[in-house]
A and B are shown apart, each in its own frame.
Chain A
Amino acid sequence: MGDLWLGIWQACVLVASADADLIEISLRSLQVTLTALVLASFLAFPLAALLTVRRFRSRRLVIAVLNALMGLPPVVVGLLVYVLLSRAGPFGVLGLLFTPTAMIIAQVIIIVPLIASVAHQSLRDLWHDYHDLLISLNVTQWQKMRTLLWDARRALLTAALAGFGRAMGEVGAIMIVGGNIDHATRVLTTAIALETGRGDFALALALGFVLIAMTVLINLAIHWLGRTEREGRW
C-alpha cells in the first residue's frame, strides 16, 4: 500500500518538476505509437473497406484470419521482427534493429489486424444501408470505398483509438526489437519494466500513472478534435 501512495506522489513530483528524462521517454512513447498508428490506419482502413465492398472467394477466410490476428501475441511479433532485422537476418543490412523504426514496425504489425477488424465491423453495417443506393448510382469500387470510409469516420476513430491503446501499452515486442536503450529506444512501458526489475516499485508505479494519464488525455484530445459526443450526437 505504501508503494502505491508513494507512486502517486512521485508521479505528481515528476510531472510538476518537468523531469527531463520523463519528458524524453514520454515524447518517444508518443512518437513511436502515433507514427505506428498513422501507418497502421493507412493500411487497415482501405483493407477493411475493400473487404466490405469486394466479393472474392477467400473473403470469409481473410476476415476470420484478421479477427484471429487481433489476439496476436506481441512477444512473438517482437521475436519475428527481431529475427528479420538482426544483422544475421534478411534485412540486417538496413541496420534497423534497436532503433525506434524497428519498434514502429513491430507495433504496426500488432495493431493493423485490430484496427482493420473493428473498422470492418462498422463498415459492414454501413454497407448494408448503402448497398442498393451505391449500386443503382453505378459508382466505381473506389468511390464506394471512399464513401463508406468517409461516412463511417466516427466509427473508424474508435477503431484507431483501440489500436492506439494497444500500441501505447505494449511492452513485450518493443522490449525485444528496441532493446530499451537509454536516450535511444527507452519508452514509458520499457522504463516501467526496468524500474520494476530494480525493485523501485514507487517509481515504476509513478511512470505507470503518467502513462495512463497520457493515454486518457490523448483520447480526450482526439474526441474533442473529432467533435464526437457533441451537438446531441452520440
Chain B
Amino acid sequence: MTRVFLAGLLLIFSAQGGKSEQFRMAVTTSFHNSGLSELLLPKIKSDTGIDVQLLVVGTGQALRLAKAGDVDAILVHSRAAEEAFVRQGYASHRREIMYNDFVLVGPSDDPAGVANVTTANAGLTAIALTRMDFISRGDDSGTHKTETGLWADAGLDPDGFGAWYKSVGAGMGAALNTASALGAYVLTDRASWLNFGNRGDLELLFSGDPALFNQYAYLPVSAERHPHVRATRAARVEDWLTSPASQKMIDGYTIAGQKLFVFNAQP
C-alpha cells in the first residue's frame, strides 16, 4: 500500500514538463476577462511555437513588472502611461493592436438618469450630483486612469467625494461584483461587461462617447535595459498579433452576437 502511495507521488511530480518556447506577457484584467486570450494563445502557439504565459494584472502593475524586467512584453491600455514608458526607455516602442470602448453600467432603475445623457461627462456629473453609489477600480489600471481622466474633464475631483464614491482597489471582475451587490454605477470596458456572469440588477446604461475609446497596445520590454528578455520571441509575437490571421480572430470574436474588439494595427 505504501508503494501505491509512492507511485501516486511519483505521478504527481512527473506531471510537470513539456518544454516549449516560453514567453511571459503581462496583460490587463479587462483583456483577459473578455475571453479573447483563450482563443488567441493556442493559435499563437500553433503558428509560431511560442507558449505565451499570461500574467493578468492591472495596467499599473503590468508597467511595474515590465520596468523590473519580470516579463518580456505587455499588452495594456493607457496611452499616456505607455508613451511615458517608451520615453523612459523601458520599452523599445509601442504598437497599437486593437480597440474597444468603455461603458457606464448601473442599476436598471437608473436613479441618476445616466441613460438619458449624451456625453460621458454629463453621465458622471449626474452621478456626482445625485450622489449615487459609484465603484472605482482604484488600482491604477488603464480603466481607473480613464475614469480619473473623465472626472477631471468634468471638473470634479474624486478626493473630495463622499462615501458614495467607493474605491475598491481591485480588478475589473471584483469591481463589477461589488457594483452588482450594491446596485452601484461603475465604468467598465465592454468586453469585461459582456463576459461578466454575475450581473444581478446591473444594466448597460451609456456608451458611444469618443471619450470612452479604449486602445490596446503592445510594448516589448527593452532588451537594452534588460538583456535577459526574450526579444526575438517578443518580435515574433508582435508580428503575429499584427498579422492578417490575428485580424481575422480579433474582428471575428463575438459574445452574444456583439463584436468586442476592432483590430487597428498598422502593418
Contact A196–B228 (Cβ < 8 Å): no
**A97 CB–B CB distance under 8 Å:** yes
C-alpha spacing A202/B9, complex, angstroms: 30
Q: CB within 8 Å of A: which of B48-83?
A: 51, 53-56, 67-70
**A60 CB–B CB distance under 8 Å:** no
**A86-B68, A182-B54, A201-B198 known; A95+B228 contact, CB < 8 A:** yes
Contact B195–A198 (Cβ < 8 Å): yes
Contact pattern, A 28-70, Cβ under 8 Å of B = 1, otherwise 0: 1011001100000000000000000000000000000000000
Contact B196–A199 (Cβ < 8 Å): yes
**A181 CB–B CB distance under 8 Å:** yes
Q: CB within 8 Å of B: which of A185-203?
A: 194, 196-201
Contact A221–B5 (Cβ < 8 Å): yes
C-alpha spacing A191/B115, complex, angstroms: 36
Tally of A-B Cβ pairs under 8 angstroms: 79
Contact A31–B197 (Cβ < 8 Å): no
Contact B173–A31 (Cβ < 8 Å): no
**B24 CB–A CB distance under 8 Å:** yes
Contact A87–B68 (Cβ < 8 Å): yes
Report how many residues on chain A are interfacial, defined by Cβ distance under 8 Å: 30
Contact B15–A199 (Cβ < 8 Å): no
Residues of A within 8 Å of B9, CB to CB, are: 34
C-alpha spacing A210/B182, complex, angstroms: 30
Residue of B nearest to A35 (CB): B13
Residues of A within 8 Å of B24, CB to CB, are: 98, 181
Q: Point out which of A98, A100, A225 has the most chain B C-beta atoms below 10 A from its C-beta.
A: A98
**A122 CB–B CB distance under 8 Å:** no
Residue of A nearest to B180 (CB): A199
9 pairs of A and B residues whose beta carbons are closest in the complex: A197-B173, A199-B198, A87-B69, A199-B197, A88-B68, A181-B53, A179-B55, A27-B15, A200-B197
> Which A residues contact B (CB, under 8 angstroms)?
24, 27-28, 30-31, 34-35, 86-88, 92, 95, 97-98, 100, 179-184, 194, 196-201, 221, 225
What are 29 A-B contacts defined by CB distance under 8 Å?
A27-B12, A28-B15, A31-B16, A87-B68, A87-B226, A88-B67, A92-B69, A179-B55, A180-B55, A181-B24, A181-B54, A183-B53, A184-B53, A197-B29, A197-B33, A197-B170, A197-B172, A197-B174, A198-B33, A198-B173, A198-B195, A199-B173, A199-B176, A199-B197, A199-B198, A199-B199, A200-B197, A221-B5, A225-B5
